[in-house]
Structures are given as C-alpha cells and as structure tokens.
Amino acid sequence: MIESVDLEPDGRGGEVLIARVRPKGGVGSRCSRCRRRCPGYDVSRQPRRWRGLDLGTTQVYLQATTRRVSCPEHGVVVAAVPWARAGARFTTAFEDTAAWLVCHATLSVVAVLLRIAWRSVSGIVTRVVTERAGAVDRLAGLRRIGIDEISYRKGQRYLLVVTCHDTGRLVWAGKDRTKETLGRFFDDLGTERAAALTHVSADGAEFIHNVVAERAPRAVLCLDPFHVVAWATKALDDVRRGLAGELRRGGRAEEAATIKNTRWALLKNPRTLSTDQRSTLAGIQATNGPLYRAYLLKEQLRAVFQARDLASARRLLTGWLAWAQRCRLPAFVKLAKTITKYRQLILNAVEHGLSNARSEATNTHLRLLTRRSYGLSPESLMAMADLTRGGLCPPLPGRAA
C-alpha cells in the first residue's frame, strides 16, 4: 500500500522519487526465506529503501519500515515484503528487468543503463536464477543428454555441463571436470530418473564413461563424432609438422615452408576449399605421398559418420582401422589403437544419430559469456549460463512470458 510519494534531492544536483509503502494485512509477518507465517521479533529503527524501475530519467525508490520475525527453521530474519526478494536492495520488477537485459547485452552495458554497480548485476542474476530454478524441475523427463566440459579460465579451470538433446537447454552445470562433479549431477537426478535415460553423448573422457556406466547402465553411450574427427585432424597436423621438421633439419627450408603453408588446405572440409587450396591439395597428392595418405585417412574417418546406415559405417570403420594400423604413420597407428578402444561407442553414435552438437552450441555460448562477464566467479558464471541457456530468463515485468 502506497502512503505517500515525494521528490527528494539525490545529493548530486538531481532528484529521486521516494514512494513510502507498507505491506498489506499479514504479509509482513512471514519469513522471507520460506514464506511461513511467524511471530514478530522487532521493528527496524530506520526505514529501508529498495531501488525500483526509473520513472523516465528519475530514479525511484520504495521506502518502508521493516520488521524481523522469528522463524523456527531460519531463525531471526527480516520479514518478507511483496515487492522484493529476500536479501535484495532492488524491487522484483527491477531485478527481472535486469535479468532479461543480461540475456541480451553485456553486464557492463546493463550496469550503465540501470545505473547500478557491475557486481550488483551479478547478484541480481543469482537471485533470479535461484528463485526460478526452485519453481521448476529442469531434470524432469530427461531421456537423451550430452555431457561435456568447457574451460572458463586459464589454469585448467573447467565447468562440466549437461545438455538435453530434445530441448537443447542446459539442465545442469558444475565446477571442475571430475567424476565427483558428474556424480553430483546423478545425485540430483536420482536413481529412478537416471534409469530412464536412454542415450548419453560424450567425448573420450574415461571418467564420464565410467560414471555413466555405473549410474545409468541402461543408457546407450555415444562418442561424439566431432571429437573423433578432431583426433584425426590432430594426427594429420602432427604428420604435417613432423615432415616439415625433417625437411628443415635436412637443410631444405624452402620445402619445409611449403608444407607448413598447407595446413588449412589439409584441415578444411573438402567442400569448402578455395581454388588455391584445391591446387595445394593436388600438389601434395603428386609430390608428398605420406602427407596425402594422412589426409585421406582423416577424410575416411569423417566418412564413417556420413554413412547411410550402420552396416556401411561398420565396413568403413573396419577398413579404416586396417589401413591406419599398417599406414606407417606413427600418429595414425596410435590413433588406430584409440579408435579400436572406442569402436562400439563410435558405432553407437552412427546408429542413433547422436552427437554433442547441442552441448558444443552451449559451450560456444558459455565462451561468449566468459568474455562478456570477465571476472565472474564460476558460481556466477553458472548462474549466467542457467539464465541464458537454461530457460530461466524471466519475462519483462507486465508482459506475458
């Protein structure tokens, strides 16, 4: 209930609008944490203010005398008010607006627009995500998930993220890429819902495979095609750099430089090669048998995932393994051992048409967030990810979701 509205000087030559309010009825006697009706404890000596949405260019504050209540669960806490979240210095409408803006702009831009501190925006995001995540069960109905990790800072700092293949949404994120972190996800998921998982896609991380086999034994584990082809791409690049190094050591610097400049012609998808790169590739075919053989090995492994059916993929993979094992290229001989180890998981990915593409899309978005939100803690970064990729972005106040 609004009792009065006044303009007051803001101390910087301008004015702010102060709306003096009080909660209706028994609303002010509830715990701000659990909303349980509790006995009163005391009343604040000084009124408290909450920043509201601006009125044009004028800052608006709600002012009210607060009280504390004695909650049997949370102890003595400030009583709930209907216009703000617990522990907030801003109104709910202000925080929802800030959270919506964060989904569409950088934190620094939002901070300037709303005239608040940069870290205040981070705190708002955390409160909004906590409230909205508590109102929905994002782990309900999961059937097909992708598990991947992303580096958010130098020094082996990682987040482990879980994405739903059916919705494309981020459903869970945790700090560090360890079996303990993944175990926490399955703890949150629960035994019954873990048993309902049908497919899990992941990279070659052993700890992911082991935890999935233990906690979701009915799920089909699929090895992400992108990572498999990336292994072949790395092996090809190792061959190229090795040949260039041999030529340099043999005093053939000009030929070494020529091989060095073939990198993109070798690594790019054949369909996207430029005319010059096609000419470069033709030159390699004519003059450098080992390097061209490595290129063909990389492309044939890619072809496994483009096969029309599982039988064709199995034949292609069997042929690739036979060729790689006798190709006399150490990088590919080594890769053949890895592919043999994960052969069934690769065929699972082909059979079920599953990859970590949605997880990689989430990771790309998270990398953008790390640049937009440089300096955030991993907890704040996970809250940002939940807000922007987890379906927790609130609608603008006064508008439909």
Residue 60 is predicted with a pLDDT of 95
pLDDT digits (tens, 9 = 90+) for 311-337: 999 999 999 999 999 999 999 999 999
Do 359 and 218 lie in one domain? The reply is: yes
Do 249 and 275 lie in one domain? The reply is: yes
pLDDT digits (tens, 9 = 90+) for 191-231: 999 999 999 999 989 999 999 999 999 999 999 999 999 99
More confident residue, 360 or 51: 51
Do 205 and 260 lie in one domain? The reply is: no
Residue 200 is predicted with a pLDDT of 95
Residue 26 is predicted with a pLDDT of 64
Do 245 and 195 lie in one domain? The reply is: no
Q: Which of 89, 124, 149 is the last residue of a domain?
A: 89
Do 199 and 118 lie in one domain? The reply is: yes
Do 164 and 73 lie in one domain? The reply is: no
CB 356 within 8 A of CB 226: yes
CATH number for position 391: 3.30.420.10
Residue 186 is predicted with a pLDDT of 96
Do 111 and 31 lie in one domain? The reply is: no
Residue 137 tokens read as: 């069960």
Residue 155 is predicted with a pLDDT of 64
Tell whether the model's pLDDT for residue 104 goes beyond 70. Answer: yes
Residues 184-197 have a mean pLDDT of 95
Alpha helical stretches, state H, 136-195: 179-189, 191-195
CA distance 229 to 203: 11
Strand locations in 22-167, DSSP E? 40-43, 48-55, 58-64, 67-71, 75-78, 144-153, 157-164
Tell whether the model's pLDDT for residue 370 goes beyond 80. Answer: no
* Percent share of the chain, pLDDT over 70: 97
Do 57 and 202 lie in one domain? The reply is: no
Mean pLDDT, the chain, as a whole number?
Answer: 89
The edge-to-edge listing of strands for the beta sheet with 75-78 is 40-43, 67-71, 75-78
Q: Which of 57, 89, 121 is the last residue of a domain?
A: 89
Do 97 and 78 lie in one domain? The reply is: no
Residue 245 is predicted with a pLDDT of 87
Do 196 and 107 lie in one domain? The reply is: yes
Residues 251-272 have a mean pLDDT of 85
- Provide the residue range defining the domain that includes 101: 90-224+355-401
Do 364 and 395 lie in one domain? The reply is: yes
* Tally of domains within the chain: 3
More confident residue, 377 or 339: 339
Residue 187 is predicted with a pLDDT of 95
Tell whether the model's pLDDT for residue 376 goes beyond 80. Answer: no
Res. 373 pLDDT band, cuts 50 70 90: low
Q: Which of 302, 323, 347 is the last residue of a domain?
A: 347
Do 184 and 259 lie in one domain? The reply is: no
